[in-house]
Amino acid sequence: MKKIDIDYLKEAFNLSEKARGKTSPNPFVGAIIVKKGKIISKGYTQPPGKDHAEIQALKQAGENAEKATMYVTLEPCVHFGKTPPCTEAIIKSKIKKVIIGAKDPNPFVNGKGIEKLKSAGIEVISDVMPEKFKRQNEAYITYITKKRPFVIVKAAISLDGKMAKENGNSRWISCEKSRKTVHKIRNEVDSILSTVNTVNADNPKFTVRYNIKNSKHPIRIILDTYLKINPDSFLIQSANKIHTIVVTSHKSEAEKMNFLHSQNVKIWQVNEENGFLNLHQIMNKCYKNEISQIMIEAGPTLITNLLKEKLIDKILLFVAPKILGGSDRFLFTLRPDNIGMENGGFKSFDCENFQIGIDLTDVSCKKVDKDIMIKGYLNYGKIS
């Protein structure tokens, strides 16, 4: 593989970033077409139902695509979905060579696209930069291979590990620049997941603000075992404009559910045990509703239980240069107690179950004004 080929493929990866947050549950892909040492066209994935990156690039190239080379970050699709297969269009264009960043793990593709192109006489070089695609499209990889959303925990803590003061006041631990960063991430994910406890205590909006370009509000999913959500909360009052889901148990009162329906709130019911909602069933419902990436914005109890169930993939932790003091409101609830039902139907766990510890991989730190943003991926290893 020549350096120039790597450079062109890297350019395709950079191009694909224009589609980040706009293609779920599909991957966001970049494609460029090169002929006689010049880029003649570019493309990136459009929203579901519209052109894939390859099709965009082929349309721009027109008849000039004949005998050219295509660089594409992901294996072209070979099946009919919401759009026709890209392989057919590539073959029809008489492209001479295709260089692919990564094989598609989707069982409907997974090597079939490569074989289709080869059988048509097109030279194919595949899996050139698989790790780059895997990290860039981490949500898609998890959604396809684990059949659940990719879960990000966003949290802000003080230097002494506190998410809030003893009185429960959790507003503005992090600085304004950190909060703007969070809103940019909100604009990229499909959904924000929180609990009734957070909603009733803080009355959050869970919207995208700060004048972010091409913004879209994520789906808001609230866990509420017995439907104690405040009917006057911003989330309920704005549900007619912003997609809002309340997850509750099968024991919830019909009258309360009817009220939420009347406010345009969608209800999901899942099993509960001793008042605790089944997290895996919630993730399964998200998967079936094509929600491929979720950001958790909640208190320590929900975060702790997601950790216990090995459902956290990534952590974004903003550490503020403050000391709040006190003996409660830490990021992880490491002691068994009886507060679960008051926190949206969840319980904490005993830290003795985690004597081995949980490592973070690919850890990075970045200064955000006065705060430090720590990013890492969960490696559960031998934790049982």
Residue 133 contacts residue 101 (beta carbons within 8 Å): yes
Active site residue 54: yes
CA distance 196 to 220: 12
The DSSP output letter for 265 is -
Task: Determine contact, residues 20/139, Cβ cutoff 8 Å.
Answer: no
At 153, is the secondary structure helix, strand, or coil?
strand
Place of tokens 């990719």: 150
Beta strands 359-368 and 371-379, pairing class = antiparallel
CA–CA gap between residue 280 and residue 96 (Å, rounded): 46
Q: Assess contact for 252 and 227: CB atoms under 8 A.
A: yes
Q: Dihedrals φ, ψ of 43, to 5°?
A: -160, 155
* Residue 334: count of CB within 10 angstroms of its CB: 15
Catalytic residue among 17, 54, 115, 188: 54
Pairing of strands 38-44, 30-35: antiparallel
Report the alpha-carbon distance of residue 67 to residue 73 in Å, rounded: 20
The angle at the Cα of 81, spanning 76 to 85, to the nearest 5 degrees, equals 35
Is the alpha carbon torsion for 119, 106, 17, 51 positive or negative? positive
Question: Rounded to an integer, what is the distance from CA 260 to the centroid of its chain?
Answer: 27
Number of helices (H), then strands (E), in the chain: 12, 16
Residue whose tokens read 């979905």: 81
User: Taking a C-beta distance cutoff of 8 angstroms, is the pair 114, 151 a contact?
Assistant: no
For 84-110, b/e burial (b = at least 16 CB within 10 A) is: ebbbebbbebebebbbbbbbbbbeebe
Catalytic residues: 54
